[in-house]
Structure 1
């Protein structure tokens, strides 16, 4: 009698997610190249920008799923080295240049040229890019990226001028236990990813963490704290 083979669906899903992520990366590059054509109308440029934005969101979700899976398996590679925070924030802006231009959002960058920190550049760039994508979606006109020292942490903030974070998100300091509600448009997956990635950055008895808060005059602030 032939034995039934049991499929490891977790591994299959992780492998499929990885393949889809690579395909989406190629798609994003193709969209960017097509948008450079000289004979496009304004409406066509807007369509390409919208397509790029949605593909970027999907790609970001796949990256989060893959990273969370690897983190659960204790297989998430983390490479800590010194990085320029300005370079990272400028990279985040450049990755989303199409959406910035098409939505006519004003981006303000407040960070010293010589402000460096120790972190995994790929993971932190993915984290910040996802928060920035959401800020583009919910902001009205302006997004501010800032970084500063608040000993014993380096703080990186993304501030928007939208309606702010929903109350149910602000109530949860522990995003591990925050209930997911995809119907609101904010599933919370990105925040779980951000918290996990932040916590991977440790120095002595400190580890990274994230916070959310709303401004009195409107808008939300996402803060990432990384140990110095």
Structure 2
């Protein structure tokens, strides 16, 4: 504003126009005044540019840093000019977003751990209480006949297996979260592995109301797996099927495109289609209150099955029909 008035003052005072251009050139004072005016305009423009392209974005970053310091990570930097300062602001804002995502992940991890502790505490207490009750009944001599005695022992064994599954699930889940999980891969004969496992499991169904049907002979080939983790996959699949089956569980094998397929099918109520995509999420249950009360389990079993199967370069597939049942199939590459 001052510069504008100054320029007008010079022109009106000295009556400078197109006719008197020669006088302007001959007058050193007018030249000096014009030079000063140009310099003032130049520096004002420079100050405006510096303010716009340097001081304003720096001020905005300072405000953003203050917001981050107070815990507000939802304060974006609006400066997005295509210059060095603009690139710096973009990187600063990316850092803010990454920090926000990291904190959200930490909060979610903490919530998962709390839910895990709550679920495992509840699920450990239930079978322990049951085991204690059956042991006390046997110790007090309440059971007189051998059939009831064997049935009590089978129930105790079943509850002990459930405890073992819960502890294994907790161990795998925790190691996965900490990034400390590793497999001990061996070249295993699939037929022997499956026969040994399911022949032992048939005893667990001796006094159950559910029939375990094994479609033998199992496929005999070689697979590269961790035997203990493979057993854990089968444990979780069989345990899950046993919770929901009405009368039977069918286990079968086949080979498709150089992959061994192991299927565990139950004749339960089936799973609504909308829930299938979330089945393998940690702590997910189709009917959480009912499942925890009537079926037991922490909601980690299927999530761990998926993790372990994929760790073996395999895949898990689920097919379900309402009122007919559900089939879980794992595919493991064959060692050719």
**Residue in structure 1 matched with residue 237 of structure 2 by the alignment:** 131
**Runs of 5+ consecutive residues of structure 2 not aligned to the other structure:** 1-112, 139-143, 292-296
Structure 1 residues 211 and 96 mapped into 2: Cα distance closer, same or farther (>3 Å)?
A: same
1:179 has 2:290 as partner: no
Please state whether the residue corresponding to 1:102 is helix, strand or coil: coil
Shift of 1:80: 1.7
1:198 is aligned, of 289, 309, 323, to: 309
Q: TM-score, normalised by structure 1?
A: 0.70
**Residue in structure 2 matched with residue 161 of structure 1 by the alignment:** 267
For the residues of structure 2 that align with 1:187 and 1:169, how far apart are their CA atoms? 17
**How many equivalent residue pairs?**
193
Shift of 1:210: 1.3
1:211 is aligned, of 317, 321, 327, to: 317
Q: Which moved further from structure 2: 106-115 or 184-193?
A: 106-115
Bigger proportion of residues as strand:
1
Contact 1:57 1:130 in 2 (8 A): no
**Residue in structure 2 matched with residue 96 of structure 1 by the alignment:** 201
**Residue in structure 1 matched with residue 177 of structure 2 by the alignment:** 72
Q: TM-score, normalised by structure 2?
A: 0.50
Contact 1:169 1:178 in 2 (8 A): no
Across the aligned residues of Structure 1 and Structure 2, the Cα RMSD in angstroms comes to 3.2
Shift of 1:157: 0.8
For the residues of structure 2 that align with 1:95 and 1:78, how far apart are their CA atoms? 24
Please state whether the residue corresponding to 2:215 is helix, strand or coil: strand
The 5 A counterparts of 1:135-146 are 135-146=241-252
For the residues of structure 2 that align with 1:40 and 1:169, how far apart are their CA atoms? 46
**Residue in structure 1 matched with residue 190 of structure 2 by the alignment:** 85
Shift of 1:189: 0.9
Please state whether the residue corresponding to 1:179 is helix, strand or coil: coil
For the residues of structure 2 that align with 1:45 and 1:168, how far apart are their CA atoms? 42
For the residues of structure 2 that align with 1:136 and 1:177, how far apart are their CA atoms? 20
Shift of 1:40: 4.5
Contact 1:135 1:160 in 2 (8 A): yes
Please state whether the residue corresponding to 1:165 is helix, strand or coil: coil
For the residues of structure 2 that align with 1:48 and 1:168, how far apart are their CA atoms? 40
1:188 is aligned, of 285, 299, 302, to: 299
1:49 has 2:154 as partner: yes
Structure 1 residues 90 and 114 mapped into 2: Cα distance closer, same or farther (>3 Å)?
A: closer
Contact 1:100 1:136 in 2 (8 A): no
Deviations 1:84-112 (A, max 9, x none): 22222223324433321112614223444
**Runs of 5+ consecutive residues of structure 1 not aligned to the other structure:** 1-9, 203-207
Shift of 1:183: 2.1
1:119 has 2:119 as partner: no
**Residue in structure 2 matched with residue 6 of structure 1 by the alignment:** none
Structure 1 residues 177 and 100 mapped into 2: Cα distance closer, same or farther (>3 Å)?
A: closer
